[in-house]
Amino acid sequence: MTPPGRTPRLRPGRRLHAALALMACALLTACAVDGPADLDLARPLTGSPEQSSARIADDRMPPAPQDERAWLRAVDHAYSSTGGHGAEAWLRHRMAHRGPGERLAVVMGIDDVMVQTHFGGIGALVPRSVRFVRAAHDLGYSIFYVTGRRYGDSLLRIEARFDQENVPANAVYARPVGATNEQSAKAQCRAAIQAQGYTLAMSVAADGASFSGAPRPEKEVRLPDFAKPA
């Protein structure tokens, strides 16, 4: 029996894969339509406060080593240095101090976060991130994925890979239809998660667009950004 506040671990199988895809499609509609009114997906970044926020987010991103082993070490370091004692330790402390009935969520990126886009391709998972989301799930966190990818074959392949490896996932949010501004699109998807009653406890991503705009998570883990090579 699943304890209160826990999400059952996803199990592999075609039924699960279909359910995951349907859930994601349903949530895309909410993400595209029911986000905060002050987020205009068609608004250009030039000269806007959002542009300044995006620049600050980009400036704070760590550079990505161009060697695969060095990159994996940098990913490990980002997790282990979070909060001074590591990302999992931070999550344990936060869960121990959650409010009555509070639902805590972890928001993950996909490219160069869960899958090794630049080195191994979308079929290769990032081992440290997989261990992290499993630990977060076991602690009682709900796991959401927000990506700049549009929903299509590549994202279906990634979901299938998650399915095969039993990677926890409550839902996958792809880029909303009609969204031209990645920063606003990702912020709107975070708002859609929050609107379901979740507290955004932690976000893990490898691009500045994921850390720009509101709502923001309580804790951010910034993985190496390939837009800023070392």
CATH number at residue 117: 3.40.50.1000
* Domain count within the chain: 1
Q: What's the pLDDT band for 167 if we cut at 50, 70, 90?
A: very high
Sort 16 into a burial class: Cβ within 10 Å, 0-12 / 13-18 / 19+: middle
* pLDDT above 80 (res 191): yes
pLDDT > 70: what percent of the chain?
73
The answer to whether position 36 is within a domain reads no
Residue 128 resides in a domain:
yes
Higher pLDDT, 115 or 22: 115
| pLDDT of 9 above 70 | no
Lowest mean pLDDT among 42-46, 57-61, 88-92, 216-220: 42-46
Mean pLDDT of all residues belonging to the chain: 78
Question: Is residue 33 included in any domain, yes or no?
Answer: no
The pLDDT, as a whole number, for residue 108 is 98
80-87: long-range contacts, CB 8 A cutoff, minimum separation 24: 82/219, 82/221, 83/219, 87/132, 87/202, 87/204, 87/219, 87/221
Task: For residue 3, tell me if it sits in a domain.
Answer: no
Residue 16 lies in a domain: no
Distance of CA 65 to the CA centre of its chain: 21
Q: Is the pLDDT of residue 77 over 90?
A: yes
* Whether the predicted pLDDT of 181 surpasses 90: no
Q: Is residue 160, in this structure, part of any structural domain at all?
A: yes
**Hey, is 221 helix, strand or coil?**
strand
Q: What is the mean pLDDT of residues 142-159?
A: 92
Question: Is 27 contained in some domain?
Answer: no
Q: Is residue 18 part of a domain?
A: no
Domain around 99: 51-229
